[in-house]
Amino acid sequence: MSKVTNDLPIGWVSTRLGDLYSFEYGKSLIKGSRASAGKYPVYGSSGIVGMHDQFLIEGPAIIVGRKGAAGSVSYSTENLWPIDTTYYVRDDKILCLKFSYYLFRSLNLAKLEASTAIPGLNRNHAYDETVSLPPINEQHRIVAKIEELFSELDKGIENLKTAQAQLKVYRQALLKHAFEGKLTTQWRAENQGNLETAAALRARIQQEREQSYQQQFADWEASGKQGSKPKAQKPLPPLTIEELAGLPELPEGWGWCKLGELTWSVKDGPHFSPKYVEQGIPFISGGNIRPNGVDFDKAKHISKELLAKLFLLKYA
């Protein structure tokens, strides 16, 4: 039973939910018996689950989840069919039904669900909830104020979504400008003559790649040729005149190249769940990859010994 509130506004009373409402059982209507082209909504515990050409009760009505999504609350303005996983509350014309709907939502009836294989709500437990009841005129005023504020919240959510979409476009434009040299124009001017050109950098990368291959090959021979024989990376064909013509102009000293010219190796990770340890080497999976980088805080860890084994299997 919820806590009784003593300091109520003038005209309000504190009472039990069961003194005000009757939770009626819905009626079974299996999916195969429903007329999907019908005009009446069929309600399950979590909301509309289909349509039918007949209705069980006239709307408006409140639907409360009894089994499954126990304690969930829905509202229907039209005639409907609540199935047997629900309770329903009719409009008795005495209380403001929309007020009752928001009241039920505020009670968080899901907290009363019984701990069984299928979550269920016992209506007698719901009846024991203590609620505060205002006069009928104030009920209507409360509903109007709730819906006014909810509308403002919905507008705020929509504005937030719009801002997020705009930020996504801005972030992409920022990255595009970064890799066209537009963000470092002043820095290049201040460091003119001290910068390595793209051509020199590519040559250095190629040299380091060749040295890495030679070291891997030597290690492979030293291990008695265990594992796969290292392969030298084949040079990629240069960008054609036609390909370069379709690319943006770059600052002096920059150059276009293919991604394969900058990477040593692109491989996938192990296809099994390794044995994790409390501390060790971060083990990165798809769940750790975020738009702005790698989330190491939630990464699991593997031992150095397992890392060495994986390295030998995949990269030797």
H or E element, residue 234? none
Which tokens is 97 given? 């039904």
Strand 81-82 and strand 40-44: pairing?
A: parallel
Whether 277 contacts 303, CB under 8 Å: yes
Q: Phi/psi class of residue 93: alpha, beta or left (left: φ > 0; alpha: ψ in -120 to 50)? A: left
- Res 116: pLDDT: 65
- Res 153: pLDDT: 94
Whether 57 contacts 79, CB under 8 Å: yes
- Res 316: pLDDT: 45
- Res 313: pLDDT: 59
- Res 180: pLDDT: 87
- Res 298: pLDDT: 86
Quickly tell me which residue has 């010994």 as its tokens. Answer: 305
Quickly tell me which residue has 């040559």 as its tokens. Answer: 203
> Taking the CA atoms of the chain, what radius of gyration do you get in angstroms?
33
- Res 287: pLDDT: 83
Strand 81-82 and strand 47-52: pairing?
A: unpaired
- Mean pLDDT by runs of 10 across the 316 residues of the chain is 69 94 95 94 95 96 93 96 96 93 94 77 94 95 95 94 93 90 90 88 88 88 85 86 90 88 73 84 85 83 84 57
Name the class of domain 13-134: alpha beta
pLDDT for 194-222, tens place per residue? 888 988 998 898 888 888 889 988 988 88
Which letter does DSSP use for residue 224 in this model? T
Q: How far is it, in rounded angstroms, from Cα 255 to Cα 241?
A: 13
Full-model pTM: 0.59
Burial class (CB in 10 A: 0-12, 13-18, 19+), 268: exposed
- Res 206: pLDDT: 87
